[in-house]
């Protein structure tokens, strides 16, 4: 049961996720940022849960390009598509870093933690003598581990249904307001 105080789009999203079933791809979302050159940039990230009722958590590496984008422009969009229900959610909002991130680091497996100790993402690969990547244990939280908090201020939901598609827009103006719009 969902808390009645939660925005109503959370109920729709919960239902879409349930129908999609338990697959890792159920948590793969597309995050769009705006580069320092004012160009759109898009990539897949993992949805790591809710911070507050309408804010999502994403983990990333401080050395990745998206960090520079978000420092110059916190505006972002997240797209979440569900194949089984032919449903698309477009979330608009702002991203900020959560400084209190120790519990998130502790939630990761040793294998996941070790990825933050890899060479800098996006840089030219250096030739290496040793090719195997070690999975270490008891890794301390590194400075490049970043938890992003995506604070959602609007949700655009499109459901491909017969005979006519449905589309709804939620906007947060003090409280969440929902309107049906043309698909």
Ligand X SMILES: Cc1cc2nc3c(=O)[nH]c(=O)nc-3n(C[C@H](O)[C@H](O)[C@H](O)COP(=O)(O)O)c2cc1C
Among 143, 13, 38, 147, smallest CA distance to 91 is for 13
Decide whether 105 or 168 has the Cβ nearer to ligand X: 105
Nearest approach, Cβ of residue 74 and ligand X (Å)? 15
Q: What is the dihedral of CA 37, 92, 48, 18, to 10 degrees?
A: -140
Nearest approach, Cβ of residue 46 and ligand X (Å)? 4
Decide whether 48 or 159 has the Cβ nearer to ligand X: 48
Identify residues 123-182 at the interface with ligand X (CB under 6 A): none
**60 is an interface residue for ligand X by CB under 6 A:** yes
Nearest approach, Cβ of residue 58 and ligand X (Å)? 6
- CA distance linking residue 8 with residue 166, whole number of Å: 16
Please give the helix or strand (H or E) that residue 52 lies within, else none: strand 50-52
**44 is an interface residue for ligand X by CB under 6 A:** yes
Among 104, 90, 11, smallest CA distance to 51 is for 104
Region from 55-63, 89-97, 98-106, 108-116 binding ligand X, contact rule CB under 6 A: 55-63
Decide whether 11 or 120 has the Cβ nearer to ligand X: 120
Radius of gyration, alpha carbons of the chain = 18
Among 143, 96, 134, smallest CA distance to 116 is for 143
**118 is an interface residue for ligand X by CB under 6 A:** no
For binding to ligand X (CB under 6 A), which residues are involved?
28, 41, 43-46, 58-61, 64-66, 121-122
């Amino acid at each position: 049961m969902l808390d009645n105080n939660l925005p109503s789009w959370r109920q729709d999203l919960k239902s879409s996720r349930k129908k999609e079933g338990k697959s890792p791809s159920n948590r793969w979302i597309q995050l769009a940022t705006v580069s320092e050159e004012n160009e759109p940039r898009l990539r897949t990230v993992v949805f790591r849960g809710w911070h507050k009722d309408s804010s999502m958590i994403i983990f990333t590496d401080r050395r990745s390009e998206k960090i520079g984008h978000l420092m110059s422009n916190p505006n972002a969009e997240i797209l979440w598509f569900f194949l089984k229900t032919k449903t698309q959610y477009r979330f608009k909002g702002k991203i900020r870093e959560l400084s209190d991130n120790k519990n998130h680091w502790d939630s990761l497996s040793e294998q996941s933690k070790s990825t933050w100790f890899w060479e800098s993402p996006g840089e030219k690969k250096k030739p290496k003598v040793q090719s195997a990547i070690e999975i270490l244990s008891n890794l301390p939280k590194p400075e490049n581990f970043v938890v992003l908090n995506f604070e959602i201020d609007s949700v655009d939901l499109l459901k491909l249904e017969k005979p006519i598609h449905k589309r709804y827009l939620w906007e947060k103006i003090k409280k969440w307001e929902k309107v049906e719009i043309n698909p």
